[in-house]
Chains A and B, each alone.
Chain A
Amino acid sequence: MTSTIFALSSGSPPAAIGVIRISGPRAGAALEALAGPLPAPRTAALRWLVDARGDRLDRALILWFPGPRTATGEDLAELHVHGGRAVVAALQAALGAVDGLRPAEPGEFTRRAFANGVIDLAEAEGLGDLLAAETEGQRRHALAIAGGALSRQVEAWQQAILEASARIEAILDFGDEGDVDADEARPRAIADGVAAGIARLLAAPPAERLRDGVRVVLAGPPNAGKSTLFNALAGREAAIVTDIPGTTRDVIEAPIVLAGQPILLIDTAGLRDGDDPVERIGVARAEDALAGADILLWLGDPGAAPDHPDLIRIGARCDATGHRAGVDLSVSVHAGEGMDRLRDLLIDHVRALLPREADLAVNARQRAALEEALEGLHLATSPDALLFAEGLRLARVALDRITGRAGIEDMLDGLFGRFCIGK
């Protein structure tokens, strides 16, 4: 017997409203226990909620969604209560006392929706991202995935590969008996087309950047003004600033949002060969941060800047040192000079690194499956028809892992639907 779970589904109290969700076979019984007879499905009703002793807990809006056509695929109830801590706690206690109910684990509602076939894996992942979305770009992207945009694209590829498979299988199983089109050019063209599409998607920026932010690393020699600039960009005194070279020992991170773009700002220890063991560790960490940087803000001698594909050379403290040659931009935090231009420049660079709104971005799991599919399609360029078919099969298996599964019978359906086959 599946257990029935409940949880506060809105943000943590105190808040104006608290939404408590109950999902599972005893959701209806639990609603009746607290609110009396079930209201009409999918219609809000205003009721007094009471506990087992009959004590009134809150006057609330309740909703009843009988399964399976619900968000979780199970019977589902919602209590829209007043969002005070005591009210929510009392209701959770009352629900916990109902037989067969228990508090939900993190993500359990979504997991049930997946387990009950309401959403597929890609949609579940999108939904997870949607709930965690903090910026506008993240929200739009997560909404597209949760709405099945990636699933639809993958399904289109699956259909195409299925057709190519059906054609090549017909040639393999019936080619010698006449009656089938023995031309391999068409299935090979289909496979090439899908391979190109997957390669394009893989070339797009990864979804993790949307979730975790673009990694902008400030680096340079000691006492170059990195931490001052870092604090200015972060809008708070996150890093300690002194005139003493080597003040910043560790890597300091601050998530910020510029024009709706998520950025992870990273300050690092000044790069130099020192004797202080703590500073040496800090420099090693700085070098690691540099290696993982999406964008590098270099505050040292422009000629000494490390090799990086997305490098911005900054001439800092331009109010004191004057404008240096060879830099992309001169700024002075104290004079406020160049800061707006720096932000604009950063936004441009960040935008180029994030998936555009029209783009589908994939996460690491999806990327691995797509890479495997692509590998299969590369094998499918083998002149041996058998290996071609094997490559298509590998691609199907890999794509199936993203959304669903297309069995051999689906392929045979494709095969027989398209061809006249003599015995």
Chain B
Amino acid sequence: MPDSFDIIVVGGGHAGTEAAAAAARMGARVALVSMRRDMIGAMSCNPAIGGLGKGHLVREVDACDGLIARAADHAAIHYRMLNASKGAAVQGPRVQADRVRYRAAIHELLADLPSLEIVEGEAASLRLGGPEGRRVKGLVLADGRMLAARAVVLATGTFLNARLHFGMRHVAGGRVGEGASVPLAEQLRALDLPMARLKTGTPPRLDGRTIDWAALDRQESDADPWTMSPLGKGRVAPQLFCAISRTNAETHAIIRGGLDRSPLFAGVIEGQGPRYCPSIEDKVVRFGDRDGHQIFLEPEGLDTHLVYPNGISTSLPEDVQIALVRSIAGLDRAEIVQMGYAVEYDHIDPRALDSGLAVRAMEGLFLAGQINGTTGYEEAAAQGLVAGMSAAAFAGGTQPMRFDRTESYIGVMIDDLTLHGASEPYRMLTARAEYRLRLRADNAPTRLTGAAIAAGMVGPERRAWFESRMAARQRLEEATTERLSADRMADTGAQVTRDGSVRSLGEWLRFPGVGADTLLALRPALADIDGDIIAEFRTDAHYAPYLARQEDEIQRLKSDDGIALPADMDFAGIPGLSNEMVERLGKARPSSIGAAGRVRGVTPAALAAILVHARRRAAA
């Protein structure tokens, strides 16, 4: 008899842990399968969590009671609010996290979930059943153990046909020091899912004791005591500083001299790399006119001397890496502890997935993280949350939570992935979210926690926190409906023109000259409300006129999303669609006319043809 679970999650990285935890919070019995128990919650690449777009994802996962933000706070040794000087909607919270502390926090959070069991072992193959073997029944481990479950979430990172490149030398494997999981990969290939090849890279790691810190500009942790999650104990770890340096003409000359031994340029690497964090050799080749590129030197933790030089990801040979590092100010005597390398891997084209990250062609199989062509911890965690939640809803027969692109970055990412696929490792950017004025990092709970509670994903502690927060917002709204004159506002100390205008207090809050102090002077009874709730309320007021303008557009989008397209729509049979459109639509299989309109290259004319065709079919 196999051990029986509701859900099996394979992989203990950011996607796997969030998936397992989300399903367990919903009451599912979950097996989290990982080759090594102690590697669960490992940060495999850079030591940073958050950033622009990415920080939004972290806050959204947290709003659904996920793990990443609380673990990041426990581990954070440096806090930085990116874009602090720009609009609230594009501010990105980012932390440097101590690896050891991060992993410990994840283990502790998982241990709090009674229905989650960690199973140490290597996933060998899926157990399949149903007609034509198109239904997942469980998992077989390499040592022969059998696990049964109604759904399996694969969050296996870069394990599919992964290859590491150190200069012209290459070895099979996912991360340095870990093997690549091959049999499961063969089985996935046999399913005939569309696949593509991507590459990603990592910089050399430096010994911090050999860096001349005094010669470099320091960047201190933010003084303002914000945290990633509102729950938890705040900032608990000592704060360290980062430093900034730059590459220079000499660095670039060294890189150019080594290009003939770069796997990237010698044609050994075939996978498509990201446009936005290219390797340093890529940057030098593509942007040859620049005299230097910025490098952030980020400490990896409290108990380690390792430093991560963010900005010089490379797969050049060892001697070139040493020379290029030492040509940089402050690093002239730096020792490399581990060389940088590139990883090439296969990923499943996420257009084979539905909006719950379920594989359309295999009932009960869900995919999350790098296997879907994304890069980054935050993107992985957010997908893990979606896949774990969807799998638990599937197994339990409940209604899953839907993430809409007008309401969350998670929704933007899922929509992008399932409609456009990933022609390069997908990274979240605020530019991807057309309605970002409403998708702020500071209002994630307001946007998502209610729906997450309804889906059963939220534990009692956050639920209580959320209810008191909403009650406070309610009080704020009720206390700010009274209409007040400009004179009255100015008399209370607000910096406004006495132009005789009259507005509700809520509307006055959108003016920069009307601060929280004015609000509290007029409404002293609100003094017990948290400053961040008032700040969110003020930001809402600030953007309100623009949000109102977007409302029509969003309604149009939603009505287009409401026109369903049949799952077996034959796009090739619609006259007037180009072959390219037919191919893209066939791969993405948009579920609505709205989604079809977001498939790249689909013109309004083509949309009209699709709509006419769908209507005609419905009428037939």
Contact = CB atoms under 8 A, between A and B. Distances in A.
Contacts of B283: 420, 422
A146 interface: no
Contact of B87 (A116, A175, A179, A385): A385
A117 B603 contact: yes
Contacts of B616: 1-2
Given A409-B600, A412-B431, 7 more contacts: A114-B605, A115-B609, A172-B430, A173-B430, A179-B294, A421-B278, A422-B283
Contacts of B576: 68, 73-74, 115-118
Contact of B606 (A1, A117, A411): A117
A408 B575 CA distance: 26
Contacts of A121: 604-605
B420 A409 contact: yes
B612 A384 contact: no
Contact of B437 (A68, A177, A390, A416): A390
Interface residues of B, number: 51
Interface of B: 52-53, 82-83, 86-87, 89-90, 92, 244, 275-278, 283, 286-287, 290, 293-294, 296, 310-311, 313, 420, 429-432, 434, 436-437, 546, 549, 553, 575-578, 597-598, 600, 603-606, 608-609, 612-613, 616
Interface string A110-131: 0000111110110000000000
B549 A394 contact: yes
Contacts of A411: 431
A416 to B, nearest CB: 4
B437 A179 contact: no
Contacts of A116: 575-576, 605, 609
The 3 closest A-B CB pairs, nearest first, are: A116-B576, A386-B87, A178-B294
Contacts of B277: 421-423
B157 to A, nearest CB: 19
Given A121-B604, A407-B598, A423-B276, A172 B310 contact: no
A255 interface: no
Nearest to A114: B605
A421 B276 contact: yes
B286 A420 contact: yes
A422 B290 CA distance: 12
Nearest to B46: A423
A56 to B, nearest CB: 33
Contacts of B86: 172, 175, 384-386
Nearest to B412: A408
Nearest to B375: A423
Contact of B575 (A68, A176, A405, A420): A68
Contacts of B431: 169, 172-173, 408, 411-412, 415
A394 to B, nearest CB: 7
Given A2-B575, A397-B553, A423-B310, A176 B52 contact: yes
Contact of B578 (A117, A176, A397, A409): A117
Contacts of B286: 420
Given A176-B82, A390-B546, A409-B600, A422 B294 contact: yes
B591 to A, nearest CB: 18
B609 A404 contact: no
Contacts of B244: 178
Interface string A201-233: 000000000000000000000000000000000
Contacts of A408: 431-432, 434
B287 to A, nearest CB: 4
B434 A173 contact: no
A96 B448 CA distance: 58
A325 interface: no
A5 B278 CA distance: 54
A26 interface: no
Contacts of A422: 277, 283, 293-294, 311
Nearest to B296: A177
A120 B543 CA distance: 35
Q: Tell which of A73, A115, A177, A421 has the most Cβ of chain B within 10 Å.
A: A115
A207 B612 CA distance: 30
Contacts of B430: 169, 172-173
Contact of A420 (B83, B87, B90, B293): B293
A25 interface: yes
A276 B277 CA distance: 83
Nearest to A25: B575
Among A387, A421, A422, which residue has the most Cβ atoms of chain B within 10 A? Answer: A422
19 contacts: A74-B575, A114-B605, A115-B608, A116-B575, A117-B606, A172-B52, A173-B52, A173-B430, A179-B293, A386-B436, A387-B546, A390-B437, A408-B431, A409-B600, A411-B431, A412-B431, A422-B277, A422-B294, A423-B276
